[in-house]
Structure formats: C-alpha cells, structure tokens
Structure 1
C-alpha cells in the first residue's frame, strides 16, 4: 500500500491517505482545508472508503463533515469520544483562537475496543492509546509496517497531557505497552511533525527513557 502525509490548518496537523492498488483510500484525521484533500484525491484518482479518527480534538476533525458528505463515506471514532464531535467544548474548538466552533454530525461507526478492524478492503489492528485524550487510538497496518499514532507518540516527543481528559502516566503506559512492543522497524506516522520509527523513539526519545 501507499501512503501520504498532508499537514493542514494553523497548527499543521497531519492528515494521512493510505491506499491500495485499486486506488481505494482511507483518510485519517482530516483536520481542515477540505479543498486540499479533494485536490489530492482527484490528482491521484483515489476512491475514499472511510474516514478514521485517532481522536476528536478540533485540529483533527475540522474537515470531517465536508469529506464525509462529498464522498458519502462513514466516519469511525472510539466510543469514548463520540460526543466530542458534536460538542465544541469537548473537542476544544470553543477554547482555542485557532478555530471556529466545530459542531459535527455524529460518527457513523464506533470503535469499541482493541482488535482487528475491517473497513472495506482494509484490515488493521486498533490499539487503545489513551493519555493525550481518553479515546485516543492508534491504527497498525502490520503488513505495511505502519502505525498511525495520532497525538500519542511523536518524533522525539509525546502528546501533551494538560488538556481535559489527559493523563501523563496513562500516556506513557499506552506508549510502552502498545506502541513500543511493535517491531522496531515500524514506521510511526504521527499527528504532527515528521515520521519516525519505533526503534528511533526507543533509542532517542527523552520522554521515554527511564520509564
């Protein structure tokens, strides 16, 4: 499979596209700037089949309804954050100068736990990785050696835990128990910044050393 990162919005949140040989595509965390998303889909002749959300903070969800409506595709989110899409206080859009208040439709599909998630032709493993937010999840594509970690793990850093529902100890446990157990060559595709690998973060991430 192929993938591409697209940084969107005032805080440069990463949206991702992952697609197969048939050009069927998943869109992960379409945070804003829907027209850029449409342009990429058109240029690459992609056929979106679903939107996956790692979590429901405002900078990851701003273009969800536009993308859902244009392509008539379902939106997946963890059940713990299903209400965040419709509540600008929970998704933090009401608390930031970077966004207008975001009130979306409810998600079409709920992620209720860990395990294999089948979305159209795509099969992936879901890890619950709370700490940055209560319903944060990571999507692991074993065959492609990719994990989309949202705002749990970054290159050289970890997600902030000072927002409502955040917990530093819970986040560190999520990273160590769920992400750092993946093969070291696994590519980590984060919600902000550049890609990294599990090995690189195990070796150099100052937030993880000594846990």
Structure 2
C-alpha cells in the first residue's frame, strides 16, 4: 500500500493520501487548511486519482480544503453526522475566541457529504476501511482501520491518539470521560503491531503507545485495580 502523509496549515495537521499502488485511485484523509496544493502535488507525483475524502472529525484544520478537492474531482466527502455541522460553521467547536477566526470567511461545503457510522466498512479505491466511532476530542470523531497488502494493520487515529499524548477535550463537543472510554474500548484492544497515523505529529504503533503513553498506561493500571483512570489531555493538540 502507498501511504503518503504530510502536514498542512497553521496547525500542521496531517493529511494522508492512501492507495493500493501508484498510478490508480486513492483516498484523501483530512485535507485541512491550505491542503489543495500539497495534495495536488502528491497526486501528480504518484499518478493518482482521488475517489473520496475521509474526515476523522470536523475541526477546520482537518477539513478546510475538503470542499475544494471534492468539487475539483467530483468525489464525496465522508464525515460522522455528529461533526457535520462544522462543515458549515467551522468556528462552532472552537469557542468564542476561535470563532473570531472565521468572521467574514466564506465557507464552502462539499457538494456530496455522506455519513460515517460506527462499524461501517467502506471499500474505496481498492482499500477497505473499517470505521470506529471514537468520541472524546469531538462528538463525531472517528478512526479508520485498514490492512495493507503485506498484512500489516493501519489506524488513522485523527486527534484521538498521538505519540505520547491524546487529543484535547476542552473545546465545545469534547468530553474527557468519553475520550477515556474510546481509548479503553477501541484503542487498547488493538494489536501492538498496528501502525498509528495520527492527526498531528509522527507515526507510532499501538505497542509503543501502550508502553509509553501515560494516558494509556493509566487505563491499563486502572483495569487491574479499582482506582479510577487519571490524567488529562494535551491542550496543545
């Protein structure tokens, strides 16, 4: 499988282009702020044609270029319905100060928006993606699982899991208890060899995070005792 990841925009959110191989169809994940030029360059370099845009959640740094790419290539965008409102109101989940960033900004919405549901399996561009609803960072956050031709497992975690950290939960729509539930039920059970492609920062693996991420360690320790999980999210992510 071809996996091309690169940061875009002021917040350096990771955008990914995935394809079975060069010279065919691909899927674009999280084309955020100022992503069009970077995505177009990767499409040209690898001779790819996008079949769909997948969105891990609705924050502007992950979705802002989705409409332009969808219109340019006549493709749909997939998002969880709980986060779809951010496509028309990107400042809604950023709080009063964040909303000011979009005063006077004309917002464009993908012409074909489709709903992601928990447990869905999407066959797109020759890749099967498994959708896991992962609320916590936002109410409609999702993670996408996929399997490479070599048998390796990939997890596009969005802003749920980062190397050594988890996504912040202090913005509107965030919920720390739901984040811990997502980590406990949907992240910890994954195999150690699963490669994590996060929404910010470098790649990691589930095994590495299980061993060194303090938020996952807290949950592991809590599962072996009656004490509650502790810890707080990284407010910078």
TM range (shorter): over 0.9
CA RMSD of aligned residues (A): 2.0
Q: Would the aligned equivalents of 1:50 and 1:73 in 2 still touch at CA under 8 Å? A: yes
Asked if residue 104 in structure 1 is aligned to residue 105 in structure 2, the reply is: no
| Displacement of 1:185 | 0.2
Q: Would the aligned equivalents of 1:10 and 1:98 in 2 still touch at CA under 8 Å? A: no
Structure 1 residues without counterparts, runs of 5 or longer: none
- Provide the rounded CA distance (Å) in 2 between the counterparts of 1:3 and 1:98: 35
- 2:200 is matched with which residue? 192
| Deviation readout 1:93-123 (Å, 9 max, x if unpaired) | 9843995446232552111332322235321
3-state SS of the aligned residue for 2:3?
strand
| Deviation readout 1:58-114 (Å, 9 max, x if unpaired) | 110111111111111110000111121011332539843995446232552111332
- 1:43 is matched with which residue? 45
Match of 1:60 among 59, 62, 66: 62
3-state SS of the aligned residue for 1:54?
coil
Q: Would the aligned equivalents of 1:4 and 1:16 in 2 still touch at CA under 8 Å? A: yes
| Deviation readout 1:112-167 (Å, 9 max, x if unpaired) | 33232223532111111110000000000034410000000000000000000111
Q: Would the aligned equivalents of 2:95 and 2:172 in 1 still touch at CA under 8 Å? A: no
- 1:18 is matched with which residue? 18
Q: CA 1:98–1:156 in 2, change beyond 3 Å: closer, same or farther? A: farther
- Higher-Rg structure is 2
| Displacement of 1:25 | 0.5
3-state SS of the aligned residue for 2:6?
strand
Asked if residue 202 in structure 1 is aligned to residue 202 in structure 2, the reply is: no
Asked if residue 176 in structure 1 is aligned to residue 184 in structure 2, the reply is: yes
Asked if residue 29 in structure 1 is aligned to residue 33 in structure 2, the reply is: no
- Provide the rounded CA distance (Å) in 2 between the counterparts of 1:105 and 1:138: 22
Tell me the TM-score normalized by structure 2. Answer: 0.83
| Displacement of 1:4 | 1.1
| Deviation readout 1:9-51 (Å, 9 max, x if unpaired) | 1110000010013521100000022111111111111111000
3-state SS of the aligned residue for 2:215?
coil
| Displacement of 1:168 | 1.0
Tell me the TM-score normalized by structure 1. Answer: 0.92
More displaced 10-residue stretch of structure 1: 188-197 or 167-176: 167-176
Q: CA 1:94–1:118 in 2, change beyond 3 Å: closer, same or farther? A: farther
Structure 2 residues without counterparts, runs of 5 or longer: 220-237
3-state SS of the aligned residue for 1:40?
helix
| Deviation readout 1:182-207 (Å, 9 max, x if unpaired) | 11100000000000000000000012
